[in-house]
Amino acid sequence: MISDPGASVWSENWDALTWDHIFNKKAPFVFDPNNFKIHIIHMCQGFWLGENRNFGTIRLGGWNFHKGHVPHDFLYNCDIPLLVELPLHYAYELDEANSFIVPLASPYQNNKQAADDVITQQIQKWWDNNRETNNENKETLLEEGLRSVVSAVDMFRSRDNSKENRHVWILFHIYKSINQAVLNYRVKYCPKEWIPQYSLVLQQPESDNTQHRMNYMLDHYDNKISWDGA
């Protein structure tokens, strides 16, 4: 069981944390659930990426999760979009001039284009700001016989202030697990014409200076639509 990213391995099972199921050198960016070694995540903390917790949200270049920001009727309200997941399975190939990146793989499908665009922009900006270090990483990848790629894992790790990048790890699994559970319910109980939309973004109310919302729709921040948290 894990709960607090700041806890020691003597109080929680953080020593079992592994990235093998997320990043596999033999098959880069392929998810392997068989390597998953932590089975219980206690969601009593706030998890975030960015400069600080209050402003760690996608709109500001970070990420955020607190269970109180999830709409209270999220499970069965078919009008609420699913959560935008942390896209650790992105892979980008560099062109010969290293001047831009070409997407090779993306976890988003169907109606996730808005999320796809936002993450692509974030990775491009991160690459430009860290070009010298990234070029060195590229050479390492080539020496190891891997494709010339840069991953979203690198970008999000650089925005994680917790030790061992625990926030990145736990955010990835929380979002993915909650979405899967809600999707299973809605496929059975929502109207047949229901189509999943992955565009719900969580945020600290402090990051919204006007409405103090706990959530909003990706790419539609200005429409003021949100749902009451739990």
- Is 89 contained in some domain? yes
**DSSP one-letter string for 3-71:** --TT--TTTSSGGG--STTT--TTSTT---GGG-----B---S-EEESSSGGG-SGGGT-EEE-GGGSB
Task: Name the pTM for this structure.
Answer: 0.75
Domain membership of residue 25 (yes or no) is no
Residue 13 lies in a domain: no
Q: Which residues of the chain have pLDDT under 50?
A: 25-29, 91-115, 141-149
Which residue from 103, 106, 104, 55 is spatially nearest to 85, judged by alpha carbons? 106
pLDDT at 106: 43
Residue 229 inside a domain? The answer is no
Domain of 103, in residue numbers: 39-223
Q: What's the order of all strands across the beta sheet hosting 91-94?
A: 101-105, 91-94, 149-151
Counting the structural domains of the chain, the total is 1
Name the strand (E) or helix (H) holding 41.
none
151-174 pLDDT, tens digit per residue, is: 567 777 778 888 888 898 889 889
Residue 124 lies in a domain: yes
Predicted pLDDT at 34:
59
pLDDT at residue number 37: 74
Predicted confidence at residue 99, as pLDDT, reads 39
